[in-house]
């Protein structure tokens, strides 16, 4: 923790370097049903190497709830800390290490729960880089791409507004679910019986 604090403090005394390869941080997009839990990754591309990073994430609390934030992928061996409360919004994430971490890949996985009261629309996930520096003491120019959780018009275990299938309770149903028109067995033989009676009368 002392090393992490020292690295963060030293970032305030650095010069910005506009590298030919600018790190691009992005958070993905995901679809989720009402009441469902979904995961979304934060990734980096064009990464020349950094040893200190601070990202903030802002989201719509009326639609989604942040459940967890895990340090994963290429930054897994870096020291990682985040907001004291998972409910903080914006949510802060900080990485630090003695050496640079370079290359592209996932740096974190976030888990959200789509609230039962969520409206059917997008919940934007706004990603912002507060600082990014390398082990030589240079601040790196960065780019960030936001994502979102797209809420589907369904609940996790079925449709949002299930409509019951109408049933004619005056007509019995068979074991296979098909309606048995039992009256056909009575109505259909009547003409046949009448015809037989007429034939017998005429023969006399």
At residue 202, the pLDDT reads: 57
* Position 99 in a domain: yes
* Position 203 in a domain: no
Residue pLDDT tens, the chain, 204 long: 444 444 444 444 445 444 458 999 999 999 999 999 999 999 999 999 999 999 999 999 999 999 999 999 999 999 999 999 999 999 999 999 999 999 999 999 999 999 998 888 899 999 999 999 999 999 999 999 999 999 998 887 765 443 334 334 344 444 444 444 434 344 445 554 565 555 554 554
Q: Secondary structure of the chain in the HEC alphabet?
A: CHHHHHHHHHHHHCEEECCCCCCEEEECEEEEEECCEEEEEEEEECCCCEEEEEEEEEECCCCEEEEEEEECHHHCCCEEEECCCCCCCCEEEEEEEEEEECCCEEEEEEEEEECCCCCCCEEEEEEEEEEEECCCCEEECCEEECEEEEEEEEECCEECCCCCCCCCCCCCECCCCCECCCCHHHHCHHHHHHHHHHHHHHHC
Which CATH number belongs to the domain containing residue 142 in this structure? 2.60.40.680
* Position 176 in a domain: no
Range of the domain at 68: 2-159
* Position 192 in a domain: no
Q: How many domains does the chain have?
A: 1
* Position 84 in a domain: yes
* Position 180 in a domain: no
At residue 21, the pLDDT reads: 83
């Amino acid at each position: 923790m002392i090393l992490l604090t020292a690295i963060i403090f030293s970032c305030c005394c650095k010069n910005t370097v506009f590298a030919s390869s600018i790190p691009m941080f992005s958070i993905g997009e995901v679809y989720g049903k009402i009441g469902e839990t979904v995961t979304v990754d934060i990734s980096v591309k064009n990464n020349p190497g950094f040893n200190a990073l601070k990202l903030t994430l802002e989201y719509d609390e009326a639609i989604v709830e942040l459940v967890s934030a895990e340090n994963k992928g290429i930054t897994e061996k870096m020291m990682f800390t985040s907001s004291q409360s998972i409910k903080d919004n914006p949510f802060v994430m900080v990485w630090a290490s003695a050496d640079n971490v370079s290359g592209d890949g996932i740096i974190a996985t976030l888990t959200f729960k789509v609230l039962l009261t969520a409206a059917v629309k997008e919940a934007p996930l706004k990603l912002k880089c507060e600082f990014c520096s390398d082990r030589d003491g240079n601040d790196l120019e960065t780019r960030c791409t936001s994502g979102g959780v797209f809420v589907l018009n369904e609940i996790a275990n079925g449709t949002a507004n299930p409509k019951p299938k109408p049933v004619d309770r005056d007509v019995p149903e068979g074991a296979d679910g098909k309606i048995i028109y039992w009256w056909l067995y009575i109505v259909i033989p009547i003409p046949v019986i009448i015809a037989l009676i007429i034939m017998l009368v005429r023969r006399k």
